Amino acid sequence: MSTATAHHEHLWFLDTLVSFPVAHADGADGMSVMESRKPYGESPPLHVHHAEDELFHVLEGELRVRIGESDVRVRAGETVLAPQGVPHTYRVESPEGATTLVMTTKGGFEGMVRAVARPAERPELPESSGPPTEEQVAALAEAAAANGIELLGPPLTAES
């Protein structure tokens, strides 16, 4: 395995701080591990991965994860799988935010994140940018589609 330290650059992906302790290109099986710090209320659009499963392991905080038609609470130390082909999203429910490990295997998710992320100016959460602009949504949808991910609907809210 190549040295993981080369992948510890921090990126700002939307309103989160991410790094790749294990990058897709590191090993023969294509495993990717992304560490992500997320603020309270953070939720990506409802989406589906057409080519890979997505595994969430919560290190700190709590997520409400919607997989298909069901919601599950995932707390620190717990893991949940969003299977390939099943629509899913999550929302950070803990007021202090959450830290997760996200694992995938075919490089699509990592590729999408890297396509829209920007270098972090400091190793902490970025200032909230508020709701995304139409241009940001279009750029995210384009990067997702190029990496086998389809955006299907809005993020979760406290009420949804």
Supply the pTM of this predicted model. Answer: 0.91
pLDDT digits (tens, 9 = 90+) for 108-149: 999 999 999 999 999 999 998 777 888 888 999 999 999 999
Does the structural domain 4-153 have CATH classification 3.40.50.720? no
Give the start-to-end residue ranges of the domains of the chain.
Answer: 4-153
User: What does the pLDDT read at residue 151?
Assistant: 95
- Count of other CB atoms within 10 angstroms of residue 154: 12
The gap from C-alpha 2 to its chain's centroid, in whole angstroms, comes to: 24
**Distance between CA atoms of 16 and 98, rounded to whole angstroms?**
10
- Provide the pLDDT confidence category of residue 4 given band limits of 50, 70 and 90: very low
Can you tell me whether residue 149 is helix, strand or coil?
Answer: strand
> For residue 1, is pLDDT > 60?
no
CA-nearest of 109, 130, 115 to 56 is: 109
- Count of other CB atoms within 10 angstroms of residue 91: 22
